[in-house]
Amino acid sequence: MIPEYVDFHAHLDLYPDLQEAIRSCDKRKTATLAVTTTPLAFKRNHELASSSKFVRVGVGLHPQLVEERYGEIELFEKILPQTRYVGEVGLDAGPRFYRSLDLQKQVFERVLRLCASSKDKVLSVHSVRATKAVLDLVEKHLPQDRGRVVLHWFTGSVAEVRRAVALGCYFSVNEQMLSSPNGLKVTSAIPTNRLLTETDGPFVLREKAPIPAGDVRRAISLLGNVLSIDDHAAGRIVRSNLKAMLQD
């Protein structure tokens, strides 16, 4: 089935009804990466998405949960062979999570090493206030020919965009990012062939309500504005980027 849209970072299991969220992505023909925040959550997502044409499930260990859940890295390792996709993983050095940063780095390094040894993984990576540390670890432990990193909601500098591009990274951008001056600046610096879209639903709000699952139309339209092209052309670029990324 050929997708119409791409949502490369969504928390479908945090919508009120996971099954309904999966259906919503299928109905829209949105190729969706359903990220999970703990390895324990993988099984149910995987089961419910097993008959979906457009939803794929990642095994994750969210940096904001590492302090309580780092022990689940063993389960992460066990699940990893069942999926090509990994996320949400990464680092968060914001004030609420700074104290677990060392532990987060250990866990993220382990994740990257495990992915490097299985070779074809695609990772959705969180890098809040930790862009440099994320790129340092990716550079060291997940060489380009060993896996693919998609930086989700990237908030680093333009120089860091260039560094990430040189490391082979892609970027998934959402409508909130594309509505902020800094997000627009970052997005303009990303090469067109490295751009993907995401909702980050249900966390990103539109008129105070979560974005419907798999609805990236506004992100596509805002991205089109950045690239000075229409929505159809923007959609085509994102679809072909996803295809290229998954094939190489």
Size of the site for Mn ion (CB under 5 A): 1
Rounded distance, CA 244 to CA 140, Å? Answer: 24
Q: Please state the closest distance from residue 200 (CB atom) to Mn ion, in A.
A: 5
- Whichever of 26 and 88 has its CB closer to Mn ion, that residue is 88
Which is it for strands 170-173 and 195-197: parallel, antiparallel or unpaired? parallel
Q: Please state the closest distance from residue 117 (CB atom) to Mn ion, in A.
A: 25
The whole-angstrom distance between residue 93's C-alpha and the CA centroid of its chain comes to: 18
CA atoms within 13 A on the CB side of 230: 1
User: Contacts with Mn ion in 46-75 (CB under 5 A)?
Assistant: none
User: Residue 181 in contact with residue 18, Cβ under 8 Å?
Assistant: no
- Whichever of 88 and 175 has its CB closer to Mn ion, that residue is 88
User: Contacts with Mn ion in 78-97 (CB under 5 A)?
Assistant: 88
- Whichever of 104 and 237 has its CB closer to Mn ion, that residue is 104
Q: Please state the closest distance from residue 143 (CB atom) to Mn ion, in A.
A: 25
User: Contacts with Mn ion in 223-242 (CB under 5 A)?
Assistant: none
Q: Please state the closest distance from residue 13 (CB atom) to Mn ion, in A.
A: 12
- Whichever of 34 and 222 has its CB closer to Mn ion, that residue is 34
Q: Please state the closest distance from residue 9 (CB atom) to Mn ion, in A.
A: 6
Rounded distance, CA 59 to CA 122, Å? Answer: 11
Residue 162 vs residues 27, 44, 82, 122, 179: alpha-carbon distances, Å: 36, 38, 33, 20, 22
- Whichever of 49 and 128 has its CB closer to Mn ion, that residue is 128
Count of other CB atoms within 10 angstroms of residue 117 = 11
Which three-class secondary structure state does DSSP give residue 7?
Answer: strand
* Token reading at 4: 């119409």
Q: Please state the closest distance from residue 79 (CB atom) to Mn ion, in A.
A: 19
User: Residue 113 in contact with residue 137, Cβ under 8 Å?
Assistant: no
- Whichever of 35 and 237 has its CB closer to Mn ion, that residue is 35
| Contact set with Mn ion (CB under 5 A) | 88
